[in-house]
Amino acid sequence: MPPNTTASSGQQPGKSGRKKGRKARLFLIVLVLAIIGGIAFGAYWSISTVRASFPQTKGSIRIDGLSGPVTVQRDGNGIPQIYASSDEDLFKAQGFVQAQDRFYEMDVRRHMTSGRLSEMFGEGQVKNDEFLRTLGWDRIAKKEYDKKLSSSTKKYLQAYSEGVNAYLKGRSSEDISLEYAALGFTNDYKPTEWTPVDSVAWLKAMAWDLRGNMQEEIDRSLMTSRLGPKQIADLYPEYPYSRNKTIVQTGAYDSATGTYSSSGTGSASSAGTGLAGGTATPSGFQSQLSGLYNVLDDLPTAVGVNGNGIGSNSWVVAGSHTITGKPLLANDPHLSASLPSVWYQMGLHCTAVSAKCQYDVSGYTFAGMPGVIIGHNADIAWGMTNSGVDVTDLYLEKITGQGYEYDGKVLPFTTRKETIKVAGGDAKTIVVRQAQDGMPLLSDRDDELVQVGKKATVDAEAPDRGDGYAIALRWTALDPGNTMDAVFAMDKASDWSEFRKAAESFQVPSQNLVYADGAGASGNIGYQLPGKIPTRAKGDDGSLPSPGWDSKYRWTGYIKPSALPYEYNPKRGYIVTANQAVVDPDKYPYTLTTDWGYGTRSQRITSLIETKTRGGAKISTDDMRQMQLDNSSEIASKIVPKLLKIDVPDKDVRQAQKLLEGWDYTQDADSAAAAYFNATWRNILKLAFGNKLPKELRVKGQCLSVERVDATGPADEDQTVRECGEREPDQAQPDGGDRWFEVIRKIIDDEHNDWWKLPKTRTEEATATRDDLFRRAMTDARWELTAKLGKDIDTWSWGRLHRLFLKNQTLGTEGPGFLKYMLNRGPWNLSGGEATVNATGWNAAGGYGVVWVPSMRMVVNLQDLDKSKWINLTGASGHAYSAHYTDQTELWAKGELLPWAFSKKAVDQKTTDTLVLKP
């Protein structure tokens, strides 16, 4: 073959071949250099940028404005204990130290509360900012700071801000946190100074996520498009007062004095307002609420799951029932899983308690807020659970021109303009409108709602439509208050009387407060319901939206602090709060809410206490910890005996059914029976209820063929339409919580109840009885778990389904993949479940993943505070590669607690790093 002849293969390359070879080699060299350069850049980024943001924890730092040196001692988990000689120095140091560990988290929080997320994250947050500006949290916080808070509180808030700003001074964004370096690729955002209002506004975000029954108010109204009044009543059964005990079990409202008395026997009818009743919902409101829900669903959460599924456990046992002879107090608030944890552990100690320096307190606080929220001082301990009282109402407002109708008159809206700055985009200006009582129009923030408001039909007694209807919100947190005063007052309270006095200022969010002290021979225990709680006209219980054009639906006032239920040293020797009803309505005249938790957790805790103490046995600190970890499923104990009696023809389903034989209803992570039961429970709910709910409550993307509302035409014509759910998985219904336990409990022995009936489909036979539906649910569960966990049931476990992922709440959810990898952690396979004491919550409509968790756990020993125990969900640090980013999570997942040093001697023994802040 001639040398210059072209060959199809095996040829020596000519000019063209040599050129391509050089290009290939050049590309390879460039690629290798790029990889090497990328590794080098990555190494630089991780070493230079990441480490630059780590806090200095040893040596000394000079801070302007201190009156004397302040010592910061950290233990092996990076938890700080601060020692100062004046109140101002103490809180200034708290601001500095929290900024060292968590400033990025603090910065994001204040941008959320002020409706300025777009300044950090761009146009994707504009809708959220519009809604948050409409609520105006920061505006209310400023009014509180200017006009409501005490001079001492303002002084402490100012000192805290100065401490934060001392940390920020001279630092570039990259030196503060890794996330700022990531933001720098697309945004020139730079942090600004901290202000006292930034701290106060966080209470509004906390109150929003713990706001009570607003979600139930929306859901009940949405259900009316598909379900009748009797069906809705079935799905919202009354609280079982005869079976599940209230928090307060002694005393009653005293009509003669208008106060709650621990020994009173007053009649509930004596107050004359706030009695239970019903509110007619204007027809056509349902579609507007659907639009409102879409807005609410997109909001970033502060501490909870957009108001849903939020609970907590807290209980206190008197010294007569404990090994120590003094009270034991336990608390574990159930909130959204976040990274870093919403809680920050620390101690605030005066070197000598005096008029100049009044604090010696340790516990859990929020990064960005001075003081301690939950914990103990040298004399008392306290815990909190969400009370769930109804402090929000939705109103349908009749719009006429530039105003709204009220008692036959047209009143003008109060308006203001808000300009939203957008990173990388143009600013946007909105107009916020408010009706009477400062109620913002939420419907102004959704284009769909504007059109729906114009087209909505109403009942005959409602005013003419005019230009349409709007949705307004009445909420106690939109009135300036002084909750921040309560934080500092509780931190230094020394006895029950001072604690109750401090609680009077704890207006929003309303929390169940449990109390213990070690005074006297055996100490004392107590409970107080605080909060700014509205009263309503007779016949209006706040359970449904109200017509805004009629003054009789406006709030009539607020319950006086002295009239709020409390309990002190009850003879039974314990107090349990787990979001159950606060007080028997026969002993109390005011309707606190119609939507309590149903008492499943509280009854289980009560049972554990009574079982332990029966016969005179005593409770230890570790017994309290073990109670927090109880995984028992109450609903399984009701359903499993029925499931085991059902004849199942399919051998594979029978094999799964046998897992339930001998199961003790404990939902351990390694339990195959727990996995199969919870899958069956999920499918029971889906078949009996979920598929019958309107699309606004069902999971987004899950579609069903449903009968057309306006079905007409020949009988052989298809009368169905394809209808898809609209909710995010962790917000959909039925969520499987203890309200659904109560729904099932009421009908489980009625084998022919209508809820068990399903029509025949192309693939399934009709069901006529409970056992028909349960059989189908067991079958569906078997094949669902086969797809998720494999056909071999020996490999199944609850923990493989029930997993916790910890995600950075900004760039860890919305950022690029490599950032998510850097910032996020997990998964952890967890025990526990919905409405168990170990409440690792999941939404049965959406799946098995963990949605909310015990965000921390603590047990306080009032006999020896240094023998108390605590744990956080993550760690002290918000820096992704710090040793303390998630160093407590593995222990938390196992149910272990860390020693909680309080005395100076105990703190010294645990100290690994000491930093001195010098004037």
Does the pLDDT of residue 245 top 80, yes or no? yes
Higher confidence at residue 14 or residue 480? Answer: 480
How far is 555 from 58, CA to CA, in rounded Å? Answer: 55
Neighbours of 875 (CB within 10 A): 25
How far is 821 from 42, CA to CA, in rounded Å? Answer: 14
* 508: amino acid identity, one letter: V
Does the pLDDT of residue 24 top 60, yes or no? no
Long-range CB pairs of 760-767 (<8 Å, 24+ gap) are 761/705, 767/687
Phi, psi angle pair for 213, to nearest 5°: -100, 20
Nearest to 599 by CA among 744, 738, 743, 746: 738
Phi, psi angle pair for 620, to nearest 5°: -105, 170
How far is 918 from 797, CA to CA, in rounded Å? Answer: 55
Residue 547: what pLDDT? Answer: 83
How far is 459 from 736, CA to CA, in rounded Å? Answer: 34
Full DSSP string of 730-761: TT-S---SHHHHHHHHHHTT-TT-GGG-B---
Does the pLDDT of residue 88 top 60, yes or no? yes
Length of the chain: 919
Q: Is the dihedral of CA 166, 172, 178, 179 positive or negative?
A: positive
Instruction: Summarize the confidence of residues 114-124 as an average pLDDT.
Output: 93
Rg (CA), the chain: 30
Residue 457: what pLDDT? Answer: 42
Per-residue burial over 498-518, b if 16 or more Cβ lie within 10 Å, else e, is ebbebbbbbbbbbbbbbbbbb
Strands (DSSP E) contained in 509-573 are: 511-517, 524-528, 534-535, 546-547, 557-558, 566-568
**Residue-averaged pLDDT of the chain:** 87
CA–CA–CA angle 518, 522, 526 (5° rounding):
65
Does the pLDDT of residue 420 top 50, yes or no? yes
Contact (Cβ atoms closer than 8 angstroms) between residue 337 and residue 804: yes
- Under the banding of pLDDT at 50, 70 and 90, the label for residue 303 is low
How far is 391 from 213, CA to CA, in rounded Å? Answer: 8
> Where do we find the tokens 């001082």?
377
Residue 850: what pLDDT? Answer: 96
Cα 776 to chain centroid, rounded = 34
Residue 271: what pLDDT? Answer: 43
Nearest to 278 by CA among 543, 474, 537, 459: 543
Does the pLDDT of residue 26 top 50, yes or no? no
How far is 509 from 530, CA to CA, in rounded Å? Answer: 9
Does the pLDDT of residue 660 top 80, yes or no? yes
Instruction: Summarize the confidence of residues 759-774 as an average pLDDT.
Output: 93
pLDDT tens digits, 884-902: 999 999 999 999 999 999 9
Range in 6-10, 343-347, 357-361, 684-688 the model is least confident about = 6-10
- Under the banding of pLDDT at 50, 70 and 90, the label for residue 803 is very high
Range in 274-278, 617-621, 690-694 the model is least confident about = 274-278
Kind of pairing between the strands at 913-918 and 720-724: unpaired
Tokens describing residue 694:
């309107």
Nearest to 855 by CA among 436, 455, 469, 302: 302
CA–CA–CA angle 99, 103, 107 (5° rounding):
135
Range in 102-106, 195-199, 314-318, 439-443 the model is least confident about = 439-443
How far is 480 from 815, CA to CA, in rounded Å? Answer: 36
Residue 827: asked if its preceding bond is cis (omega within 30°), the reply is: yes
Strands (DSSP E) contained in 667-779 are: 703-707, 720-724
